[in-house]
């Protein structure tokens, strides 16, 4: 069965795409067949793996016609990793899908037609129709949280949204965990954010934190996951550890 993990947080710039790309690539490196889905009109996961943002067949076509998923997936040069790319005009689908039947279940329908060990979905920073398609299709949610003072704000809202989705669109949905990103060891605030998170979420705080690491920020401009760009970097080690934890837990 596909294990489907949506990487989501309605807050922008918290490390969703960096986590989705590098978790997917690290799982693939561990020998798991992995599909990375870009469902964000910004298409950062698409360009971050070196693909152009104007491919003819993309997630747009899959949302329109779920059966087209096989023709939209692209094998990457990173062994075991396949991507379903996005395009900027995906943004229009928030509007065009607005009144259609089963509008929340298009991605779920498509994913019923493919078979992978893991499917990782990079969500946009909003709780619109696209994110709801991801959350309807997923079994688990992974929430990247930036280690900063405002991190806790919005998290409560996200946890409430998960509860609502469990009551309606997807009773199976579970929180896999919260992963602290862009941790700066010189900043004592990071420790405070972590203990605050622990207080509220206990063992749902993942047992690895992602350090602030310039190599992680550079890798997408070379179209590579960190494991291919600089496998000895702190960022690469952290994402390998996250992948091992995920592979054990889910
Ligand atoms: N651990 C890290 N160390 C250094 N830079 C990072 C790290 N994680 C992410 N970044 C950088 O921070 C910026 C935001 O990260 P990212 O794009 O992953 O966030 P996002 O949550 O996907 O953003 P959006 O909400 O716009 O989709 C990017 O420039 C990225 O390269
Ligand atoms: Mg992103």
- Domain positions in the chain are 3-249
**Residue minimizing CA distance to atom 20 of ligand 1:** 13
For ligand 1, which residues put their CB under 6 angstroms from it? 12-18, 40, 42, 44, 125, 181-182, 210, 212-213, 216-217, 235
In the structure, what pLDDT confidence band is assigned to residue 188 with cuts at 50, 70 and 90? confident
> Do 37 and 122 meet the contact criterion of CB atoms below 8 Å apart?
yes
| Of 6, 15, 181, best ligand 1 pocket probe by most atoms within 8 Å of the beta carbon | 15
Architecture in CATH of 3-249: 3-Layer(aba) Sandwich (3.40)
Model confidence over 87-133: pLDDT tens digits? 999 999 988 888 887 899 999 999 999 999 999 999 999 989 999 99
In the structure, what pLDDT confidence band is assigned to residue 44 with cuts at 50, 70 and 90? very high
Residue 11 CA, ligand 1 centroid: distance in Å: 11
Of 56, 19, 37, 9, the residue nearest 238 (C-alpha): 19
How far apart CA 87 and CA 95 sit, in angstroms, is 15
Q: Which ligand is nearest to the CA of 16?
A: 1
Write out the DSSP string of 55-89. Answer: -SSSHHHHHH-GGGHHHH-EE-SSTTEEEE---GG
In the structure, what pLDDT confidence band is assigned to residue 147 with cuts at 50, 70 and 90? confident
**Residue minimizing CA distance to atom 18 of ligand 1:** 15
Q: Which residues lie near ion ligand 2 (Cβ < 5 Å)?
A: 16-17, 44
- Please determine, for residue 150, whether its predicted confidence score (pLDDT) is greater than 80: no
**Residue minimizing CA distance to atom 15 of ligand 1:** 15
Q: Which residues contact residue 72 at a Cβ distance below 8 angstroms, ignoring those fewer than 6 apart? A: 57, 58, 59, 61, 62, 84, 85
């Amino acid at each position: 069965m596909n294990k489907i993990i949506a990487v989501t947080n309605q807050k922008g710039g918290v490390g969703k795409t960096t986590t989705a790309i590098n978790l997917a690539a690290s799982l693939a490196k561990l020998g798991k067949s992995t599909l990375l889905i870009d469902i964000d009109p910004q298409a950062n996961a698409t360009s971050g793996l070196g693909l152009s943002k104007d491919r003819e067949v993309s997630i747009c076509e899959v949302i329109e016609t779920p059966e087209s998923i096989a023709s939209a997936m692209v094998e990457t040069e990173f062994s075991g990793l396949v991507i379903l790319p996005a395009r900027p005009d995906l943004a229009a689908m928030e509007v065009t899908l607005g009144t259609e039947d089963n509008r929340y279940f298009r991605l779920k329908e498509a994913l019923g037609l493919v078979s992978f060990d893991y499917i990782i979905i990079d969500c946009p920073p909003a709780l619109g129709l696209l994110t709801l398609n991801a959350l309807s299709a997923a079994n688990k949610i992974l929430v990247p949280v930036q280690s900063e003072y405002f991190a806790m704000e919005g998290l409560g809202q996200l946890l409430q949204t998960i509860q609502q989705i469990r009551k309606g669109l997807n009773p199976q949905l579970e929180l896999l965990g919260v992963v602290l990103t862009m941790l700066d060891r010189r900043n004592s605030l990071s420790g405070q954010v972590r203990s605050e998170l622990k207080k509220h979420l206990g063992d749902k705080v993942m047992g690895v934190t992602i350090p602030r690491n310039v190599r992680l920020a550079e890798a997408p401009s070379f179209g590579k996951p960190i494991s291919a760009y600089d496998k000895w970097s702190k960022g690469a080690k952290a994402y390998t550890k996250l992948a091992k934890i995920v592979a054990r837990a889910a």
